[in-house]
Amino acid sequence: MKIAVLGGDGFVGWPTSLHLSSLGHEIHILDNLSRRWIDTELGVQSLTPMDSIQERTRIWHQETGRRIHFHLIDLARDYEVLKRWLSENRPDAIIHFAEQRAAPYSMKSDRHKNYTVNNNVNATHNLLNAMVELDLDAHLVHLGTMGVYGYSTVGAAIPEGYLPVGIETMGGATVSQEILYPANPGSIYHMTKCLDQLLFQFYAKNDGVRITDLHQGIVWGTHTEQTRLHPQLVNRFDYDGDYGTVLNRFLIQAAIGYPLTVHGTGGQTRAFIHVQDSVRCIELALRSAPKRGERVKIFNQMTETHRVRDLAEMVARIAGGRVAYLPNPRKEAAENDLVVRNEQFLALGLDPITLEAGLLSEVIDVARKFAYRVDRSRIPAVSAWTKDIAPTLDHDP
């Protein structure tokens, strides 16, 4: 297949591009390189030394003989350029990662809130709009988030996208219907993914666009089979307070002897998936496209759930280190249960990498290896969810 990977320079986009290229697909990365600009804005850099996208694709060709094409396009701002590219190239599938993905970054200031909403919602809408205008019947696979559901406190399992409900008619009978699971975002970023869901629902219904939405949990890990092929193919690894996700942050904190930064009681339960499983899920989703006129297909892309404090203790046990309980910069439930259904990917053949089994190699291969590149001053999470939380933050555990 000819596949456009929008946001193919990012944390999941890059290993996905490599994975699909290795399977023989023709890969075109469309990216505005905004993630690299945000690094510059924040004064941080990936833990792993990361080359330019052009250099990465050159090394991929040198190592495998396969080509990945790169196109510098801003989906949110250059609608006509995007439309022209789609019209000239007419891909069979489009994978959409091209959104600002960090919740803390989206809550930093009014400017960051505006940027996240404008960028994410426009990118998704421009894409759908152009596909319809061009009669492009490509399968659109979008990387969404588990965060659209909010985090259950009642222990009921979260279904894969749709919730069956019984509605009482005027005559007193009960009719059943499946609705999109009620959106309950916990940040501006997560809210944009909820808005994406509505755009997808409308375009699938109105224009028959074939869409798969992947509700992904927190990704951990760095390497996939392909990123290991050459040092210059390495994936990015964020550890800073805005972009670093919780488990990867704990790993690097343990590696440099920084107290593990648990927010609040650490009673937050979240869904997780290894980056290798994430790229495999995208491959599986591509293979099982919905038919034209079918509703949006939704998968829960996660493999296990963990409580934040349990993760911190697990990392401290494996890699050493002390756990620090800090004031929570976020507005979120202090404790929650989380039960998630994920049978669809398991039925398609996903064989998950477990955290307990994969964690140690991550500590040795990545965290300890690149620990010398860490700027300790960029570890604290300083983006507060509300103005009254900001002054209570203690940034130095």
In the bound complex, what is the minimum distance in angstroms from residue 261's beta carbon to ligand USQ? 4
x/- mask, ligand USQ, residues 329-358, rule CB under 6 A, reads -x-x--------------------------
Measure the CA–CA gap between 155 and 104, rounded to whole angstroms: 26
Which H or E run contains 370?
none
Annotated catalytic, 193? yes
Measure the CA–CA gap between 353 and 274, rounded to whole angstroms: 7
Asked if 269 contacts 189 with a C-beta cutoff of 8 angstroms, the reply is no
Measure the CA–CA gap between 351 and 342, rounded to whole angstroms: 12
x/- mask, ligand USQ, residues 307-326, rule CB under 6 A, reads -x------------------
In the bound complex, what is the minimum distance in angstroms from residue 324's beta carbon to ligand USQ? 10
Annotated catalytic, 145? yes
Give buried/exposed letters for 144-179 (b at 16+ CB in 10 A, else e): bbbbbbbbbeeeeebbbbeeeeeeeeeeeeeeeeee
Measure the CA–CA gap between 334 and 279, rounded to whole angstroms: 31
In the bound complex, what is the minimum distance in angstroms from residue 357's beta carbon to ligand USQ? 20
303 binds ligand USQ (CB under 6 A): no
Instruction: Report phi then psi at 369, rounded to 5.
Output: -60, -40
Measure the CA–CA gap between 200 and 374, rounded to whole angstroms: 40
Q: Output the CA torsion 228→270→251→232 (10° steps).
A: 20
Measure the CA–CA gap between 319 and 139, rounded to whole angstroms: 42
Beta strand 139-145 pairing with 93-96: parallel
102 binds ligand USQ (CB under 6 A): yes
Residues 105-134 binding ligand USQ (CB under 6 A) are none
Q: Which is nearer to ligand USQ, 86 or 350 (CB)?
A: 350
Can you tell me whether residue 258 is helix, strand or coil? coil
Residue corresponding to tokens 């090394």:
59
Q: Which of 32, 48, 126, 145 binds ligand USQ (CB under 6 A)?
A: 145
**Interface region with ligand USQ, contact rule CB under 6 A, candidates 19-27, 64-72, 141-149, 363-371:** 141-149
Instruction: Give the count of residues interacting with ligand USQ (CB under 6 A).
Output: 23
x/- mask, ligand USQ, residues 200-229, rule CB under 6 A, reads -----------------xx-----------
Marked catalytic residue, from 83, 108, 113, 193: 193
Q: Output the CA torsion 101→103→104→109 (10° steps).
A: 90
In the bound complex, what is the minimum distance in angstroms from residue 66's beta carbon to ligand USQ? 28
**Interface region with ligand USQ, contact rule CB under 6 A, candidates 263-271, 316-324, 363-371, 386-394:** 263-271
273 binds ligand USQ (CB under 6 A): no
Marked catalytic residue, from 48, 124, 145, 245: 145
Annotated catalytic, 325? no
In the bound complex, what is the minimum distance in angstroms from residue 216's beta carbon to ligand USQ? 6
Q: What residues make contact with ligand USQ under the rule CB under 6 A?
A: 101-103, 145-147, 217-218, 245-246, 249, 261-263, 266, 268, 270-271, 308, 328, 330, 332, 381
* Residues belonging to the active site: 145, 189, 193
